[in-house]
């Protein structure tokens, strides 16, 4: 820290999330002393604008984390595994957008609106949760506090931008392929697909992430939770159709009030005027939007919610920068690393 300002680096600055991190640092006026950008060879040499200055993206070397206060990582699993511990060992706090560290018991998994105190005893690596997890826990937190959650069933409507620039490019090229002659098993354009499957569980990797991360962030390891994750040909935001059951009785006005009073949530819920949140509406903003609040009479104390947020911002870059703001606010730059 120099004069209350911090040396920051973004690792993975060539990707969709990395580029958004740079924009969000500027927009939120994070107290940056100097900003360094790293990426792989592919993006090295490119420049990103930050506060009117062009900053060149470089490749990482052994000195990259010297004198850096915070490193925002969004650079893939290998970087999380190999570079993040190096950074932490050299005294730099890593906020990692990847999934590699999230379930490690030594690593706080933080959504500032939900579990800010978890950041307190960090050991140099702090994990940023999965996009679909973040927006849901922001909506569930006030409901847990006011009504006590008994069960949550969620089906997601996730933007292909969650697969990065590669995913967006695939969608656009399929749309422009007028002959429709790509031979792949599952197209993204005009279709719905699932995330990768890596084991025999029947659950996709995205579904397993949500199941684990939501329980960890909310400190509810036994929360009954059902998750189905679906990827759509949409841009700029994830939707989530949520059915909750609670211990205490619900009403639509009480739910609206409790959700509206939660920092980070905007309630848009006037269906008579066709007002509800959409990915289009959430795009390029930082809030979590909730609408379609209805009672669900198929179960005791049941309700429906429709939760939308920009997966690249609150679902990734903005949440990471908010964690950095927490570190500043709570003065948490002294730590002993576990790696």
Structure tokens at 12: 């993975």
Which CB atom, from 57 or from 153, has the smaller least distance to its own copies? 153
Contact at 8 Å (CB) between 261 and 188?
Answer: no
Pairing state between β 225-228 and 47-50: unpaired
Structure tokens at 10: 């973004």
Neighbours of 256 (CB within 10 A): 15
**Which position among 92, 122, 131, 258 bears the catalytic label?**
131
Sheet containing strand 6-11, edge to edge, reads 47-50, 53-58, 32-38, 6-11, 70-73, 93-96, 125-127
Nearest distance, CB of residue 3 and its own copies, angstroms: 43
Three-state secondary structure call for residue 131? helix
131 is catalytic: yes
Which CB atom, from 54 or from 274, has the smaller least distance to its own copies? 274
Nearest distance, CB of residue 264 and its own copies, angstroms: 21
Contact at 8 Å (CB) between 88 and 26?
Answer: no
Which CB atom, from 15 or from 233, has the smaller least distance to its own copies? 233
Nearest distance, CB of residue 224 and its own copies, angstroms: 4
**Which position among 92, 122, 238, 258 bears the catalytic label?**
238
Structure tokens at 181: 């002659």
Find how far residue 288's CA is from the centre of its chain: 11
229 is catalytic: no
Nearest distance, CB of residue 253 and its own copies, angstroms: 12
What residue ranges bind its own copies (CB under 8 A)?
151-153, 155, 157, 175, 185-187, 190-194, 197, 200-204, 224-226, 228, 230, 232-236, 239, 241, 243, 252, 271-272, 274-276, 278-280, 292-294, 296-299, 302, 304, 306
Q: Which residues are catalytic?
A: 131, 238
């Amino acid at each position: 820290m120099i004069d209350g300002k911090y040396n920051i680096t973004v690792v993975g600055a060539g990707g969709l999330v990395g580029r958004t991190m740079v924009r969000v640092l500027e927009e939120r006026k994070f107290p940056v002393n100097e900003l360094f950008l790293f990426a792989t060879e592919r993006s090295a040499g490119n420049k990103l604008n930050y506060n009117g200055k062009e900053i060149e993206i470089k490749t990482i070397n052994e000195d990259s984390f010297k004198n850096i206060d915070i490193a925002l990582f969004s650079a893939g699993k290998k970087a999380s595994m190999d570079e993040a511990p190096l950074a932490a060992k050299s005294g730099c706090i890593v906020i990692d957008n990847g999934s590699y560290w999230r379930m490690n018991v030594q690593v706080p998994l933080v959504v500032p609106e939900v579990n800010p105190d978890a950041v307190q005893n960090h050991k140099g690596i702090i994990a940023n949760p999965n996009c679909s997890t973040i927006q849901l826990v922001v909506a569930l937190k006030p409901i847990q506090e006011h009504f006590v959650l008994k069960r949550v069933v969620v089906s997601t409507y996730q933007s292909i931008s969650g697969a990065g620039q590669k995913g967006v490019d695939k969608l656009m090229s399929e749309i422009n392929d007028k002959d429709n002659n790509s031979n792949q098993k599952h197209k993204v354009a005009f279709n719905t697909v699932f995330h990768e499957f890596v084991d025999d569980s029947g659950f996709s990797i995205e579904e397993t992430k949500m199941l684990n991360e939501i329980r960890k962030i909310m400190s509810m390891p036994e929360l009954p939770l059902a998750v189905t994750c679906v990827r759509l040909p949409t841009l700029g935001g994830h939707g989530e159709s949520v059915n909750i059951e609670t211990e205490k009785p619900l009403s639509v006005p009480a739910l609206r009030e409790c959700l509206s009073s939660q920092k980070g949530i905007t309630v848009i819920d006037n269906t008579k005027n066709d007002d509800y949140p959409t990915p289009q509406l959430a795009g390029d903003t930082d809030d979590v939007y909730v609408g379609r609040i209805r009672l669900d009479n198929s179960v005791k104390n049941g309700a429906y919610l429709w939760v939308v947020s920009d997966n690249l911002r609150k679902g990734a870059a903005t949440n990471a920068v908010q964690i950095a703001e927490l570190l500043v606010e709570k003065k948490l730059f002294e730590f002993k690393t576990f790696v």
